[in-house]
């Protein structure tokens, strides 16, 4: 690793020797606003390491459109190798309008994301949905419906229609097909994970499927019914995906852990994210067989790229998830969360949530949080 920050062991005497560690992080800024928001999240990560006396090693790697431009591949081998030897990866965003407007492009940035998920075995995408008191008025839902909503979406990430084969077109080009495939093993491991998280929360799992129509969903439900009795201390609820889409906006507080297959999870987590008032606020963790990846759930927001106006908080909160999930460092994660809450309450926020008041730039928000962490 080519960049190092040495711990300041003299700074925090009471922490010396208490779980001081070395963190090796792959930094994947990606496209659009990715580099700007990652810069802030990395600065916050450095500050937390300094504060707690951890040693941080980090190295940058390419992914997405920028990787195609520079190497021809959206997820180059060098990036994968770096991720594999790192303890965690911090990821910004991918996507570029020049590909969106060219449906016949053979290599696409999104393929890099799918390949990264598959090659790192990232079978679970965890998206916590929490509300922020100072943002309640920005929610499209009534404040009394969302206030206190706190649930976790667990999306299966390496199966289903995203990866099922065959996928393609008939020879005449007039028929297209995708295949949705799930194996027992894939369904079992994600359900066990959902129960594991539910046991650390309010002990309720909602299994979302379309078992009234789709064969893979019937397998999901069958396996869920087999597994549920092993977690008798957790309530299991079964819900069709169309109903779940409705319940998320009617009664978001009724969910604790929601678990579902890849495509349903893609759609429901976008829906769930906006009820909190800003898409710029929600982090995610992708975990699985190898190194975990932490990323904001929003996209690359190309219109804002390079303007220093994008909201860095979802990425900063992804760093908090990284401390908690990848390193089991609960205090470190909490300090970042507290800093983010404080920045919002002080009005140190970007234009998307400034609400008419003076907006700060991406880097001003990041710097304020760094100072909060170090104070
Ligand atoms: C997401 C994104 C991706 C997905 C795209 C960019 C391939 O929408 O992470 O939710 O569909 O999984
Ligand atoms: Mn999506």
| Same domain assignment for residues 145 and 281 | yes
Residue 142's Cβ-side half-sphere holds a number of Cα atoms within 13 Å equal to 4
The H or E element containing residue 3 is: strand 3-5
Do 135 and 154 sit in the same domain of this protein? yes
Query: Which of 287, 303, 325 lies at the terminal end of a domain, its last residue?
Result: 287
CB 233 within 8 A of CB 209: no
Would you state the pLDDT for residue 18?
A: 53
Q: What is the CATH number of the domain that holds 3?
A: 3.40.718.10
Entry pTM: 0.92
Ramachandran angles phi, psi of 82, nearest 5°: -65, -45
Q: Which atom of ligand 1 is nearest to the CA of 110?
A: 7
Catalytic entry in 99, 162, 182, 372: 162
Strand partners, 23: 56
**pLDDT tens for residues 26-53?**
999 999 999 999 999 999 999 999 999 9
Which positions of the chain have pLDDT values less than 50?
1-17
**189 and 215 inside one domain:** yes
The pLDDT value recorded for residue 243 is 98
The pLDDT of residue 6: 37
Which ligand is closest to the CA of 95, given by its number? 1
Domain that holds residue 341: 1-121+290-375
In the 8-state DSSP scheme, what is residue 235?
A: E
Q: Ligand 2 centre and the CA of 264: distance in Å?
A: 10
Secondary structure E strands in the chain:
3-5, 22-30, 55-60, 88-93, 124-130, 150-156, 168-169, 176-177, 204-209, 235-240, 257-260, 283-287, 292-296
d(CA 13, CA 187): 47
CB atoms inside a 10 Å sphere around CB 354? 14
24 and 44 in one domain? Answer: yes
- Are residues 215 and 355 part of one domain? no
Specify the number of domains making up the chain.
2
Ligand 1 pocket residue status of 282, Cβ below 6 Å: no
Pairing type for strands 292-296 and 283-287 reads: antiparallel
């Amino acid at each position: 690793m080519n960049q190092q920050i040495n711990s300041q062991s003299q700074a925090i005497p009471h922490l010396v020797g208490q779980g001081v560690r070395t963190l090796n992080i792959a930094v994947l800024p990606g496209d659009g606003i990715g580099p700007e928001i990652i810069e802030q999240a990395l600065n916050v990560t450095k500050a937390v390491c300094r504060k707690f006396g951890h040693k941080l090693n980090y190295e940058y790697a390419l992914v997405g459109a920028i990787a195609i431009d520079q190497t021809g591949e959206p997820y180059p081998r060098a990036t994968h190798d770096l991720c594999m030897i790192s303890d965690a990866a911090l990821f910004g965003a991918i996507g570029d309008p020049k590909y969106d407007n060219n449906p016949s492009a053979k290599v696409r940035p999104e393929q890099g994301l799918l390949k990264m998920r598959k090659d790192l075995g990232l079978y679970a995408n965890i998206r916590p949905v929490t509300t922020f008191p100072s943002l309640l008025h920005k929610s499209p839902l009534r404040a009394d419906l969302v206030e206190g909503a706190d649930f976790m979406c667990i999306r299966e990430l390496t199966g289903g229609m995203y990866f099922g084969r065959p996928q393609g077109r008939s020879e005449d080009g007039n028929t297209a097909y995708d295949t949705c495939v799930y194996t027992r093993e894939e369904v079992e491991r994600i359900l066990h994970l959902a129960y594991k998280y539910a046991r650390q929360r309010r002990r309720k799992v909602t299994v979302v499927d379309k078992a009234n129509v789709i064969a893979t969903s019937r397998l999901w439900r069958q396996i869920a019914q087999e597994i549920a009795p092993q977690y008798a201390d957790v309530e299991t609820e079964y819900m069709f995906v169309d109903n779940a889409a409705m319940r998320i906006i009617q009664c978001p507080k009724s969910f604790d852990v929601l678990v579902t297959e890849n495509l349903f999870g893609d759609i429901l987590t976008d829906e769930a994210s906006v009820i909190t008032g800003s898409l710029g606020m929600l982090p995610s963790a992708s975990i699985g067989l190898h190194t975990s990846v932490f990323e904001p759930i929003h996209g690359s927001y190309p219109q804002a790229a390079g303007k220093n106006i994008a909201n860095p908080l979802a990425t900063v909160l992804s760093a908090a998830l990284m401390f908690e999930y990848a390193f089991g460092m609960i205090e470190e994660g909490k300090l970042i969360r507290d800093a983010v809450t404080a920045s919002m309450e002080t009005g140190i926020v970007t234009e998307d949530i400034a609400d008419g008041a003076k907006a700060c730039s991406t880097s001003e928000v990041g710097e304020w949080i760094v100072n909060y962490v170090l104070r």
